[in-house]
Structure 1
Amino acid sequence: MQSGSVTTPFGRRSMTLGMLASQYMSREIEPETSADKWKLFRALCEAKPKLGISERALSVMSALLSFYPETTLSEENGLIVFPSNMQLSLRAHGMAEATLRRHIAALVDAGLLARRDSPNGKRYARKYGDGAIVEAYGFSLAPLLSRAREIEQIAADVEMERQQLRRLRERLTICRRDISKLIDVALEEGVNGNWDAIHQHYRRLVVAIPRVATAATLTTILEEMEMLREEISNLLELRVKMDILSANHDQIERHKQNSESESLIELEPSSRKEQGEKSRQTIEPQREPMKVFPLNMVLRACPTISDYGPGGAVARPRDLMQAAVVVSSMLCVSPSAYQGACEVMGPENASAVMACILERAGHIKSPGGYLRDLTSRAERGEFSLGPMLMALLRARGGSDRLAS
């Protein structure tokens, strides 16, 4: 541990509390404390933004460290270097003497260097006959060694922040790419949505990204951009579900048509067993397709469904089906339950049933279970949509009557 009285600068240079703090910290260095000078210098370069020192000041520190004869900084080897201004200027890549003094002062103020001035202000060392140094005057590297652990920790924090910033920028780049391409496909496919407003929102977020950004700034922008991407993805997912429902509906209709055409073909049974099976099949009653009710009647009975249509309105049967998909998801109705309803009732009636369920959602404990029950009843020919619509119309004070 260093000892000795406080040293003050030579000439007109004034003493500061920062200089005193550096000297007091230097006295508290444990005897076994040591550090590789160049590893410590690299950590100092990493920690530069947090320590408030410039690249030119680091050049001066590198030059000073080059005058230290050992690779390891320790009190055992002494911590004073005493180059002349000319020698120091040469190792600092020809830095002008006035600039050199200014950056030395910055290192002293930053608590990384201390002056140990001789009586006449010159830098030199007094040695024994065997070459061992008795007394040295110049610059003390003790403050740098005393803050070695602090500097290494600051450098680790700066590196962690840099990695976090890089990850945020990577996520932001991917998110920007996703949004741009999703908007393109939405416009190409004519997906319903206010795409002009969405694109303008996206451009505002892009413009808000600063050239030199902090992790906090990028996190805020990224969160908002990811929310926008989620909104766009939901609109596209809705369109995909509607296309699947439409395709299934067309397939069901084709299947019905094929079944009807095949039923016209009379086949001669080849045995009594086959004759008996055919007789039983003809006796079984065939379920008739459910009647499709007018859209305006459904909307009078269930006006709430309009809020979930494209642009907050339902103007045609396709809009009603699109709104029903949104409502089924909102009411936690499983896709399989809604798909089953579409297959049994038809997409138009299934969407109308979802509108009725939404209208009475506060009185239905399990919308998904209720829909499955209605689907089973419809499959057995025990459910009709008309009475349900009429009940809702009467509850709203309407006077609509079911057309025959």
Structure 2
Amino acid sequence: MAFTQVSASSSGARKRGQQENCTPPDIWTVFRALRDARSAFGLKPGHIQTLQALLSFLRPGQGDTVFASNLEICRRIGGVDERTLRRHIDRFVDLGMIARHDSPNRKRYRVSSRNGQVISFGLSLSPLLRRAGEFLNAAAELEEARRDQVFLRKQILVGLAHIDRIEPGSAFAESTRRTIRRKLAVAEYRCLLDQITGHLGQMSTVVDVMITTKLPANDGQIVRHLSKSEKDRKESESAENDLLPSVQMLTAVCQEATAFAPAALRTWDDIERHAQNLAPMMGIQPGTFHEASRRVGSKRTAAAVFILLQLGTRIRNYAAYFHSVTLGKKMATFRPATILERLSTFTSVHV
């Protein structure tokens, strides 16, 4: 049987409260940190309940040693058997969180001399308090990891929803959903997100890719390049205007889109802003919308959104069809003015 005594000296008995390590005021903050980070130290909920009971015996200014008997501790825990309590205490001792100071008869008590020397026999929690910073840091790291897990999981779910809109019943999406049913580490979530990003990049209807242009270093070449770009832009705008209907015709025929407008649509600026708001509701990604605006013009892109919404159930996948008529194989043949004329005359139109 180990026999260890802890003694301290003082100038008087009335200063005895300052002899031993006093319980810090944030002891329960330390406890909550260890409770949240228990998995990092191999602790179970039962261990945490035992520690909570031990801490409840401490009193401010009375040191950090628990003198209660095993029977009293078991009662405070909630009636656990003494063998379980001993196993829990041994676990804390092995982890260096509790120090056991046993008296010759294994009773727990404190004695002091007339000159202020103190001997305490019991369960000392001073090792736990000395490691407070370690527990607080571990809890903070686990909380940050949890937040990252939640954030990455939400990104994965958004990606899966996008895949479902483009490719309903995708085997890849179903497999990924089965994987995220269990709790994953941050690295595993990142790996899944990378796989989803790569899968989306391979799908023909996803065009959320930034197209970069390398400019020449020569000043003269830069000027010529800018001049040519300006000329191409004007020619593109002119061609776009030839294919566009009037605002009045667009709003009169596409009543489904205008019904969602918060105010009257009188100009193309109003049309473009409203189309940009409608696109995400139809499953059209912002990157795809902006790329289409850059390639075929903002007015033609906005008109495409209005027309597709008006066609309603005739279009099974808005995102895929939007890509086809603005960035895909039907881009050259998509003429909003002609389609609107047909919509205004016939009840069924195939774009």
1:203 equivalenced with 2:174 (yes/no): yes
- Retained in 2: the 8 A contact 1:84–1:123? yes
| 1:257-300: CA deviation from partner (whole Å, max 9, x where unpaired) | xxxxxxxxxxxxxxxxxxxxxxxxxxxxxxxxxxxxxxxxxxxx
Structure 2 partner of 1:145: 129
Instruction: Specify which of 129, 140, 145 is matched with residue 156 of structure 1.
Output: 140
Distance in 1 separating the partners of 2:133 and 2:144: 17
Cα distance change of structure 1 residues 54 and 222 upon mapping to structure 2, 3 Å threshold: same
Cα distance change of structure 1 residues 82 and 32 upon mapping to structure 2, 3 Å threshold: closer
- The CA deviation at 1:236 is 5.6
- The CA deviation at 1:133 is 8.6
What TM-score, normalized to structure 2? 0.51
Structure 1 partner of 2:49: 59
| 1:319-338: CA deviation from partner (whole Å, max 9, x where unpaired) | xxxxxxxxxx9xxxx8369x
1:173 equivalenced with 2:144 (yes/no): no
- The CA deviation at 1:50 is 0.9
Structure 2 partner of 1:134: 118
Sequence identity, in percent?
Answer: 31
Instruction: Specify which of 167, 184, 191 is matched with residue 183 of structure 1.
Output: 167
Q: Secondary structure at the match of 1:235?
A: coil
Cα distance change of structure 1 residues 32 and 78 upon mapping to structure 2, 3 Å threshold: closer
- Retained in 1: the 8 A contact 2:21–2:64? no
- The CA deviation at 1:237 is 5.5
- Retained in 2: the 8 A contact 1:114–1:143? yes
**After the TM superposition, which residues 110-125 of structure 1 pair with which residues of structure 2 at under 5 Å, given as runs?**
110-125=95-110
Distance in 1 separating the partners of 2:154 and 2:180: 13
| 1:191-234: CA deviation from partner (whole Å, max 9, x where unpaired) | xxxxx8xx2233333333351211111110111112223333x4
- Retained in 2: the 8 A contact 1:209–1:221? no
Structure 2 partner of 1:216: 187
- Retained in 1: the 8 A contact 2:112–2:119? yes
| 1:69-117: CA deviation from partner (whole Å, max 9, x where unpaired) | 11xxxxx742211110111001111111111101111111111111000
Distance in 2 separating the partners of 1:31 and 1:134: 12
1:235 equivalenced with 2:228 (yes/no): no
Q: Secondary structure at the match of 1:112?
A: coil
1:103 equivalenced with 2:96 (yes/no): no
Distance in 2 separating the partners of 1:169 and 1:216: 12
1:9 equivalenced with 2:13 (yes/no): no
Structure 2 partner of 1:243: none
Cα distance change of structure 1 residues 33 and 61 upon mapping to structure 2, 3 Å threshold: closer
Distance in 2 separating the partners of 1:201 and 1:173: 13
Distance in 1 separating the partners of 2:81 and 2:205: 65
Distance in 2 separating the partners of 1:205 and 1:49: 27
**After the TM superposition, which residues 16-27 of structure 1 pair with which residues of structure 2 at under 5 Å, given as runs?**
none
Higher relative contact order (CA 8 A, sep 6+): 2
Distance in 2 separating the partners of 1:31 and 1:101: 24
* RMSD, aligned α-carbons: 3.5
1:80 equivalenced with 2:50 (yes/no): no
Q: Secondary structure at the match of 1:115?
A: strand
- Retained in 1: the 8 A contact 2:22–2:62? no
Distance in 2 separating the partners of 1:204 and 1:64: 47
1:69 equivalenced with 2:59 (yes/no): yes
- The CA deviation at 1:126 is 2.0
Q: Secondary structure at the match of 1:136?
A: strand
Which residue identity lines up with residue 335 of structure 1 in the other structure?
Answer: R
- Retained in 1: the 8 A contact 2:23–2:64? no
Cα distance change of structure 1 residues 127 and 203 upon mapping to structure 2, 3 Å threshold: same
- Retained in 2: the 8 A contact 1:205–1:221? yes
- Retained in 1: the 8 A contact 2:97–2:127? yes
- Retained in 2: the 8 A contact 1:44–1:151? yes
- Retained in 1: the 8 A contact 2:98–2:123? yes
Q: Secondary structure at the match of 1:159?
A: helix
Structure 2 partner of 1:350: none
Which residue identity lines up with residue 46 of structure 1 in the other structure?
Answer: D
Q: Which has the larger radius of gyration?
A: 1
- Retained in 1: the 8 A contact 2:103–2:121? yes
> Gaps spanning 5+ residues in structure 1: where?
1-7, 16-29, 71-75, 185-195, 239-247, 253-328, 338-404
- Retained in 1: the 8 A contact 2:37–2:138? yes
Structure 1 partner of 2:295: 335
**After the TM superposition, which residues 299-378 of structure 1 pair with which residues of structure 2 at under 5 Å, given as runs?**
335=295
